[in-house]
Structure 1
Amino acid sequence: MTRKKKRAPFFLIGVWSLNILGGLGLAAFLYLGGEDSAPRTRPVLAPVNQNSDLSPTATVLPAATQILPPTSYLLPSVTPNPRGTQIVGKTPTAPSITIEATTGRAQVIGYSVVGRPLEVFRFGNGARERLIVAGIHGGYEWNTIALADELIAHLGEHPELIPSDMTLYILRSLNPDGDERAHDYEGRVNERGVDLNHNFPYHWKKEWDRDGCWNYLPTTGGTHAGSEPETIALMNFINLHDFEALISYHSAALGIFAGGVPPYAPSERLAKALHRVSPYLYPPYATGCDYSGNLTDWASSVKHIPAVDIELRNHLDTDFEINLHILDAFLSWEQ
């Protein structure tokens, strides 16, 4: 059965006519007024010294004269990975840290692209040195920064936890620009859109096969290995010290990764020791990702430092109690 076409009422024809006339008027206004309006400009970021000297005598980057808000950060819109799970951003509730409230001594080892300081807290005065790094993926893994703040506060209240022959350093956030930008996917990279955990000069690739890897937004490994000021600052800091072991915190849920390509045997032993006191998997859950330019791979394969990536169980919690056991095992571990 066919339907008869109905004629549009006169009042609808009038409304459509007004809409058409209004659209033509708006187009004319934009055309005539566009030439007189001032073009929008993006704020210019503070210049960054690109000296890539990675020797122990390299100079850490100077402070930027002004910290600009990260409003100039742009990434192309993409379709999220259909196999991924959406995370919900959440503001950290970790305790605020002040120098007076802790025995840790803050040291600025460099600056981000925008000019935010990279702060390291020191505990103890022993000759044996160990390092914890958090926030390499900024706001996407904001709970690692919150965990670092909790550990800093806890060690400030309990300095006796540090063995007398040891010094522990905690870098609370390697990617403060990403943490400031967003606590979701867009917070993962630095201000230039670089994934800092793909920027270290070992097994480095500018682009990599994304099958099995994080692929929610476009990222790169940088224009070259060690191209980013955050990466350079951390490498300079490591070169100036003699670290016996290193933990790099991430989230979420994959387990503990031993550094090195191929895996460095002391890193594997450290991973097993930390697995024994925690629910974190080792060997970790395998996604098939070909990791490249990672901090712990560079530390293990180039600097011969036993190093592991530890993945927290989710993107919302710090696993603080679990990581108190991790901390104790980390400080007491022997090669």
Structure 2
Amino acid sequence: MNIKVRSGDTLWYYANLFNIPLNLIIDSNPQVSPTSLMIGQTIKIPGYQTSSYKIQSGDTFWKIASERRVSIDTLALLNPDLNPRQLQIGQQVLIPVQVTYRVVNGNRPYDFQVLMNDINELDEIYPFVRRETIGQSVMGKELVELQIGKGPKVVHWNGSFHANEWITSAVIMQFLNDYLLALTNRENIRGLEINPFYNQVTISIVPMVDPDGVDLVINGPPEGEFGEQALRINQGNTDFSGWKANIRGVDLNNQYPAKWEVDAARKPTEPAPRDFPGYQPLTEPETVAMAELAGARNFEKMLAFHTQGEVIYWGYEGLEPPRSMTIVNEFGRVSGYEPIRYIDSFSGYKDWFIQDFRNPGFTVELGLGVNPLPLSQYDEIYQETIGIFLASLYM
């Protein structure tokens, strides 16, 4: 929600007027000097939207403010061209509406367009969220990273490395929405006060690593060369529900130089719906973007969300730091998931992250069943995962 600066206004006054933490207003307006506002300058107020109301007979600002439970001065800020003493029937008045509800609905087929619509809406309501394009998919779709917070500890979450595990993107985005609601409304999540994390932790999120693959699973093959290639790889079968790879048939979570050659020797040797590690490591734009992001951000810990199994993999070749065990045991406690240190699998993002950065890395396998998991499991999975998201911040 945008307002215009008046003579004598300060960001501190706006924070009190709208009951929004001052640091969130400051970070929503990075081009504005907090100590020298200019009259007429546009200020973004996070956590608010506006509704429109048409003046009726007998209306006054006081009456409207009382009925809508807002202050008269918020109406004045949003309607600078209206004279409160000369309201006319039929005039439009903007009303501030504090957002106390989710705009993300994860419990639905969550393809790239749904993701981008949700990102755009969150971007509008919560302008303190920083948005970066870290690369493009094979088909040119934007690979988006979202950052929240100003803390020195950078915690990373990602989802949909595998196409038919798209439910992970929905879970991440819904929790992000809940986290932003807690920040702007000064609320707790499961009894945990959220606002202190904003200055302690920077959260880095790539909600959908494989957007082309996700769209292929949910919507079927696209028209043109890429769709035709996918159909050939899938042996003409139009059912892509078992597809894990990117649109070129490369499994993105077998693309990293962490004993890549071991997996390459025992996995498919040409593009396939799943498990083909590519002809060499880091050939795909999605995996390159994620590798470069890890190098740029220096994650203090990394969580890659997958499905299924209700387990958390946390070790790689004994290179994981000792505190990884403490962290994963807390993840297990709050979720009911089983920590598993080693598995006979290599070349994943978690493996490479631990190998190259020697920081805690985790592959979190949500839910039980056959991928893609049915949306009937969504609410249960979400409730199990909330504790892991929170624990990644405080551990």
TM-score in terms of structure 2 length = 0.55
Cα distance between partner residues in 2 of 1:106 and 1:150: 17
Cα distance between partner residues in 2 of 1:296 and 1:171: 14
Contact 1:260-1:297 at 8 Å conserved across structures:
yes
2:331 counterpart residue number:
274
Matching of residue 298 in structure 1 with residue 352 in structure 2: yes
2:118 counterpart residue number:
96
Contact 1:104-1:152 at 8 Å conserved across structures:
no
Answer with 96-105 or 165-174: which moved more.
96-105
| Cα offset, 1:156, TM superposition | 2.1
Task: Give the counterpart letter for 1:193 in structure 2.
Answer: G
Contact 2:244-2:274 at 8 Å conserved across structures:
no
Matching of residue 105 in structure 1 with residue 123 in structure 2: no
Cα distance between partner residues in 2 of 1:202 and 1:278: 28
Q: Out of 274, 279, 295, which is 1:223 matched to?
A: 279
Cα distance between partner residues in 2 of 1:242 and 1:217: 32
Instruction: State percent identity of aligned pairs.
Output: 23
Note the alpha carbon deviations across 1:220-254, whole angstroms, 9 max, x for none.
Answer: 11111111111111111111122111100000115
Q: Against the structure 1 CA distance between its residues 267 and 301, is the aligned structure 2 distance closer, same or farther, given a 3 Å change threshold?
A: farther
**Residues 193-208 of structure 1 correspond to what in structure 2 (within 5 A)?**
193-205=249-261, 207-208=264-265
Matching of residue 331 in structure 1 with residue 393 in structure 2: yes
1:9 counterpart residue number:
none
Note the alpha carbon deviations across 1:48-73, whole angstroms, 9 max, x for none.
Answer: xxxxxxxxxxxxxxxxxxxxxxxxxx
Cα RMSD over matched residues?
2.5
1:54 counterpart residue number:
none
2:98 counterpart residue number:
none
Contact 1:209-1:290 at 8 Å conserved across structures:
no
| Cα offset, 1:208, TM superposition | 4.7
| Cα offset, 1:186, TM superposition | 4.5
1:129 counterpart residue number:
154
Q: Which structure dedicates a bigger proportion of its chain to helix?
A: 2
Contact 1:178-1:186 at 8 Å conserved across structures:
no
Higher Cα Rg: structure 1 or 2? 1
2:308 counterpart residue number:
252
| Cα offset, 1:163, TM superposition | 4.1
What is the SS of the residue equivalent to 1:240? Answer: helix
Q: Which structure dedicates a bigger proportion of its chain to strand?
A: 2
Note the alpha carbon deviations across 1:118-159, whole angstroms, 9 max, x for none.
Answer: 111111111211100111002x10110111211221222123
2:208 counterpart residue number:
173
What is the SS of the residue equivalent to 1:323? Answer: helix
1:117 counterpart residue number:
142
Contact 1:203-1:261 at 8 Å conserved across structures:
no
What is the SS of the residue equivalent to 2:344? Answer: coil
Note the alpha carbon deviations across 1:66-110, whole angstroms, 9 max, x for none.
Answer: xxxxxxxxxxxxxxxxxxxxxxxx724989332113342221101
1:240 counterpart residue number:
296
| Cα offset, 1:217, TM superposition | 4.3
Contact 1:256-1:280 at 8 Å conserved across structures:
yes
Task: Give the counterpart letter for 2:304 in structure 1.
Answer: S
Matching of residue 153 in structure 1 with residue 209 in structure 2: no
Contact 1:180-1:187 at 8 Å conserved across structures:
no
Structure ranking higher on relative contact order (CA contacts 8 Å, 6+ apart):
1
Which runs of 5 or more residues in structure 1 are unaligned?
1-89, 211-215
Task: Give the counterpart letter for 1:155 in structure 2.
Answer: Y
Which runs of 5 or more residues in structure 2 are unaligned?
1-107, 187-193, 219-239
1:311 counterpart residue number:
365
Task: Give the counterpart letter for 1:91 in structure 2.
Answer: P
1:190 counterpart residue number:
246
| Cα offset, 1:164, TM superposition | 1.7
Contact 1:152-1:170 at 8 Å conserved across structures:
no
Off by >4 Å, runs of 4+ in structure 1? none
Contact 2:319-2:358 at 8 Å conserved across structures:
no
| Cα offset, 1:263, TM superposition | 5.6
Cα distance between partner residues in 1 of 2:241 and 2:315: 25
